[in-house]
Amino acid sequence: MESVLGFPFRDPSLMRLALVHPSYCNENGLDPIESYERLEFLGDAVLELSVSTELYRRFPDADEGELTKIRSSLVRRETLAQIARRIGLGGCLLVGKGVESTGGRQQDSVLAAAFEALIAAVYLDQGNEFTRQMVLRLFDLELDQVEQAGGPPENPKSLLQELVQSQGLNPPKYRTVGSEGPDHGPVFTIEVLVNDQVVGTGNGGKKSDAESAAARAALAALSGNV
């Protein structure tokens, strides 16, 4: 994880703490306080401050309500999970066997919580300004999309539909290619196809979330080819 973040922790125990899911503590006789939950609490506040400061700078004419809507779209669970997947956070987590067997390490709720904990660990280890810069780097794609749209991002499926139509391509089609975990907490994998070619893949705890993630991936791929 340090190689992905681009720096070594001064206190490696902070990084490890950010990667420990509560289920790992439960199954290994550890105190619950040794999981990432306390860091998650702090990371939520650190993220909100970093993102709020950047939005205040990027949107000088937006009022409080508009800024709040944009921030909500950026720090919501689905967006945090998307960024966590992008940096491979799920594969670094220490989880219990039960969570592992159900594919829980890739669930949006787990990834979002661990991502917030990781941000808090960086904050405690490196300080506010370093963390702010790292948050901006990790959110670079999402922040640029918001800025280009001039506000909260639209539904990615609608945007993809508009993009393929403008290029004279067939409407996108979505297909489920995988489902892991129990009935009460599945993780779906969905591909989106344009002209019978896979142009994006996404994961999510609901099919609609997985489709949106696939559409976002397709938008990034197709926009680069416009």
* Domains in the chain: boundaries: 2-149, 156-223
Query: Which backbone phi and psi does 190 adopt, to 5 degrees?
Result: -130, 140
From first CA to last CA, the distance across the chain in angstroms is 33
140: annotated active-site residue? no
Contact 24, 153 (CB under 8 A): no
Report mean pLDDT in 10-residue bins for the chain, 226 residues.
87 96 93 95 97 94 89 91 93 92 87 97 97 95 83 77 89 93 81 95 88 90 68
How far apart CA 215 and CA 69 sit, in angstroms, is 21
* pLDDT attached to residue 224: 64
What CATH number was assigned to the domain covering residues 2-149? 1.10.1520.10
Rg (CA), the chain: 18
DSSP 171: P
180: annotated active-site residue? no
Kindly report, residue by residue over 205-225, the tens digit of the pLDDT.
Answer: 888 889 989 998 999 888 765
CA distance readout (Å), 115 to 19, 41, 92, 123, 141: 9, 11, 11, 12, 17
* pLDDT attached to residue 226: 41
Alpha helices in the chain (DSSP H): 2-5, 12-18, 22-27, 37-58, 64-75, 77-86, 97-101, 108-126, 128-138, 140-149, 156-166, 207-223
CB atoms within 10 A of CB 43: 27
Kindly report, residue by residue over 75-87, the tens digit of the pLDDT.
Answer: 999 899 999 999 9
Question: Of residues 40, 108, 116, 125, which has the active-site annotation?
Answer: 116
Question: In 67-88, which positions are buried (b, 16+ CB within 10 angstroms) versus exposed (e)?
Answer: beebbebbbebbbbbbbbbeee
How far apart CA 58 and CA 153 sit, in angstroms, is 15
Global confidence as pTM: 0.71
Question: Of residues 44, 54, 191, 209, which has the active-site annotation?
Answer: 44
Question: Domain 156-223, what architecture?
Answer: 2-Layer Sandwich (3.30)
